[in-house]
Structure 1
């Protein structure tokens, strides 16, 4: 099972894409938010997000720790 901030490879319409998990529907550790849906941000091979906006809230856990996701944090609008 992936954790928050895990880098995963997914198949979308027969193509492999890389992504980062930013929200999970499952019981979390204390003080880690639980989401209503599974959320991930798709990224290219260089680590840049494929989209220009992130509409889901990003957990502060990802923001504070060094996951190497500065580009995602820069375009995110909400944090939980």
Structure 2
């Protein structure tokens, strides 16, 4: 469960290392985001100090797709999954990913929610 002021790690090669959640999108008074939800984030740290190789700047505001949470979730076949850290992938206003690769596997629930661009960029599914 991701809420405002939550620090997340970035799972793509956009240049950001950590981001902070500003707002959870998806309805009036929605407090928490789970896997596959869209949030508004602010970049807190950059992966490398040189700004020329980074596609984002510190303090810039983007939208992000939540691809991993520490909160456990249960699949239909009875499998219970939980990940080690909260992760997100930066997206632009049109819904396309900012980076060109997604580091690590992503959950199958994103395939069911029709985020096929992110599934094809990732290294695998869990």
TM-score range, shorter chain: 0.7 to 0.9
Instruction: Answer with 1 or 2: which has the greater Rg.
Output: 2
CA distance, structure 2, for counterparts of residue 32 and residue 62 of structure 1:
16
CA distance, structure 2, for counterparts of residue 62 and residue 32 of structure 1:
16
Show the counterpart of 1:68.
114
Unmatched segments (≥5 aa) in structure 2: 1-31, 44-57
Which structure's residues are more often helix, by fraction?
Answer: 1
Show the counterpart of 2:25.
none
Which structure's residues are more often strand, by fraction?
Answer: 2
CA contact (8 A) 1:39 1:56 kept: no
Show the counterpart of 1:4.
35
The number of residues matched between the two structures is 78
Unmatched segments (≥5 aa) in structure 1: none
Show the counterpart of 1:17.
62
